[in-house]
Amino acid sequence: MSHLLEVKDVYKSYWRKKALQGVSFSIDRGKIIGLLGSNGSGKTTLMKLLAGLARPNSGTISIAGASVGPATKQVVSYMPDAPLTESWMRVKDAFAFHRDFYPDFDDGKAKDMMQFMRLNAQDRVTSLSKGMQERLQLTLALSRNASLYLLDEPIGGVDPVARGNILDAIVEYYNPESSILLATHLLTDIERIFDEVIMLKQGSLLLHEEVEEVRMKRGKSIDELFKEVYAEC
């Protein structure tokens, strides 16, 4: 069976800055993978390439057997690190926009998640706190029946009390026939949901392993390994 995602020898530069340098890895279905790295390690660049919002200078990326392009955008749900909503919208407008734009938008899942996340349909998007904004963006992303979910720092603005509930929502509401690639540098509490981790450092792939294998071989938690690897960053 072919991999859900295959990244082969991908390079990406912006002017003279090398954002990704020869990155290769593959992901199968039914996985939640942590994409880890300090700021500037290449996480967001990789996310944009997978979402089809940028093109690599060289190398290939395929999702569900197709090269990144119009076809893959139909099976990829991307939550960027900046909101996709417009300032004039209420929460209900954001849902209506996604419903109209994405054929795979699941109304039932959206309503369940909206209640779970304690989102009010009448609230203006501009009135939401950063944490509630992230709850809204995550709900919109996970309400699609996609094959690959790309979540860029989905809990960066969420307080520690709410973080556990949001992580539970990620596990509960994503399609088990799909996979999630979740970019973060905040590992307290979150590593418990990961099946695998990918570590990037200065644009290069440092590690791609199953979480349990990391713990058994190295005798460390993912958080401990992260702090060791990126101590000087």
Domain boundaries, the chain: 5-229
Residue with tokens 């690897």: 229
Residue with tokens 């060289």: 58
CA 193 – CA 174 distance, rounded (Å): 12
Assigned CATH for 5-229: 3.40.50.300
Angle at which helix 130-142 crosses helix 160-173, to 10 degrees, equals: 10
Query: Residues of the chain with pLDDT > 90: what percent?
Result: 67
Average pLDDT score over residue span 139-154 = 93
Write the pLDDT tens digit of every residue in 159-171: 777 788 788 888 8
Flag whether pLDDT at 232 surpasses 70.
no
Nearest to 142 by CA among 186, 184, 101, 179: 179
Straight-line distance from the first to the last Cα atom of the chain, in angstroms, rounded to the nearest whole number: 38
Flag whether pLDDT at 1 surpasses 60.
no
Q: What is the mean pLDDT of the chain?
A: 91
User: Who wins on pLDDT, 26 or 163?
Assistant: 26
Q: Is the dihedral of CA 201, 206, 208, 209 positive or negative?
A: negative
